[in-house]
Amino acid sequence: MAPLRSMLLLSLTVFIFTSCRADPDPLQDFCVADLKSDITVNGFPCKPASNVASKDFFFSGLAVAGNTINMFGSNITAGSVQTFPGLNTLGLSMNRVDLAPGGVNPLHSHPHASEIGFVVQGEMLVGFISTADVFYSKVVKVGESFIIPRGLIHFQYNTGKENGVAITAFNSQLPGVVLAPLTLFGSKPSIPIDVLTKTFQVDASVIQLLMSKFGQATSPYN
């Protein structure tokens, strides 16, 4: 009886565990984000179906070149759930990356998603750093693609003589972005200077200079 009892207990445990994880996929056709809702969830609540319109499933923002007249010479147009409500709960989004000659999409990471990119104009050096501190990079040209694993620091830098454009896609409706220069030297409130001087092993004057540059800087992401 003991072996039989153990087998029944194991079967019941497996059943309960799998039942708790049942239906991992969406159980409705769509969940268009209600961006005006005061409800806080891991994502956005759904609009009532009666308020959903065709415009919720279409987005033209990536068709327009971004303004690259800024300190980085870059502009990133986000096609995330915040601008494209129909993406809500679908686990995907897209960005347009515009780089002026010599422009850079500065060192940053996406904490919520991996990234795949496709160059549609010009050429750009794309690179990322692994957790083992290995730097991987390549100059990517028109028609070529690249991938950035989730959460790793990376960049795109225009090495050509014409404007560069890439379309990037993510496996998250809201990949998030942490821009290294603005995060480290432009946060509000500021990171204590003593922490930064010790971290980077430089004088306070160097940190103050960087804070003066990035304290009021505008993010190229919009």
- Could you report the per-residue pLDDT of 11-41, keeping only the tens digit for each? 555 444 544 455 566 667 888 999 988 887 7
Is residue 74 within 8 Å of 68, Cβ to Cβ?
yes
Given this model, what pLDDT does residue 30 score? 86
Given this model, what pLDDT does residue 152 score? 98
Sequence ranges of the domains in the chain: 65-84+91-176, 178-222
Given this model, what pLDDT does residue 121 score? 98
3-state secondary structure of 169: strand
Distance CA 209, CA 214 (A): 9
Query: Which stretches in the chain have pLDDT values below 50?
Result: 14-16, 18-20
Given this model, what pLDDT does residue 19 score? 47
Given this model, what pLDDT does residue 4 score? 56
Given this model, what pLDDT does residue 92 score? 95
CATH among 1.20.120.80, 2.60.120.10, 2.60.40.10, 3.90.1150.10 for 65-84+91-176: 2.60.120.10
Given this model, what pLDDT does residue 10 score? 53
φ, ψ for residue 43 (rounded to 5)?
130, -155
- Whole-prediction pTM: 0.85
Is residue 176 within 8 Å of 150, Cβ to Cβ?
no
DSSP state, residue 141: E
